[in-house]
Amino acid sequence: MVTGGAGFLGRFVIEKLNAFDGVEVFIPRSNQYNLIEKDDIVRLLNDTQPDLVIHLAAVVGGIGHNQKNPGKFFYDNLMMGAQLIEQSRLHGVKKFVATGTVCAYPKFTPVPFKEDDIWNGYPEETNAPYGLAKKMMLVQSQAYREQYGFNSIFLLPANLYGPGDNFDLETSHVIPALIRKCVEARRLGSEFVEVWGSGKPSREFLYVEDCADGLVKAAAAYDDSDPVNLGNGREVVIKDLVETFARLAGFEGEIRWRTDKPDGQPRRQLDTSRAWERFGFRAQTSLEDGLRKTIDWYETAFMARGA
């Protein structure tokens, strides 16, 4: 069973799972099962009786959306994770794969972020409720392995991007938002695009198909509660990233920085050695190749809706 299997990351995970012989995959839909409600989770597990649960479902968004919905982001993500793990244990699920977030790391984590540093401080304030709610699955995973012998693992993906991402400017993350802004500015002949923040922070981005590969490899071969980063181990300064977007999207106008808006965490770059050592995962897609594929996908979708 893959929660969030119809979503951005989930579609790529499903594609990789379906390549295995004899694997049957069930994708719960929100109009049938509300994963925030215990009774719906119990009914789901009774209906499907899965051997493996991969939990991808989340209530998520960019900095602005996090700032507007801290309570919802905390409660919904906490309830989904805690109740799914507990009910999976009670229903005899053989393995649970929990996906956390790079937002769980402390605001001032030494770079590159090592998994052992995850408790050494409070997360960046704009996304702390979301990050902490997801991090509770790590606590639960380790506690349940110790007390019940429950096989659950916890993965920490970097910021994802790729074809099929959320390009809604109100709720999207930085890459899809900026791709949309640059493409639309070029098509409309706009003289400038506005970008939140100063452009000085750095981020690490993981192409969505690489992340799906890492998740499936971990599901198949990793059986420990030590958290594991999924990333490519490379950081990029947001200013440089925006200039790359503009070049690839063919936008030649001005970039205007909204320094009155928050930057978020100062730096993000993951130490990815544990994923390689424990289950042989290493990202394959360069940032420029991934951005080009994502921009091409968005251009096609843009044209398809008659823009």
Active-site residue list: 130
Classify 169 as helix, strand or coil: coil
Alpha helices (runs of H) in 165-223, residue ranges in sequence order: 174-188, 208-221
Rg (CA), the chain: 19
Q: Which residue has the tokens 């639309």?
A: 184
CB 127 within 8 A of CB 63: yes
Mutual angle of helices 287-304 and 174-188, in 10-degree steps: 50
CA pair distance 156, 138, nearest whole angstrom: 10
**Count of beta carbons in the 10 Å neighbourhood of residue 186:** 17
CA pair distance 178, 301, nearest whole angstrom: 16
CA pair distance 39, 172, nearest whole angstrom: 31
Contacts of 91 (CB under 8 A, 6+ apart): 45, 46, 49
CB 54 within 8 A of CB 31: no
Measured in whole angstroms, how far is the alpha carbon of residue 59 from the centre of its chain?
Answer: 11
Mapped to the 3 state alphabet, what secondary structure does 50-118 carry? CCEEEECCCCCCCHHHHHHCHHHHHHHHHHHHHHHHHHHHHCCCCEEEEECCHHHCECCCCCCECHHHC
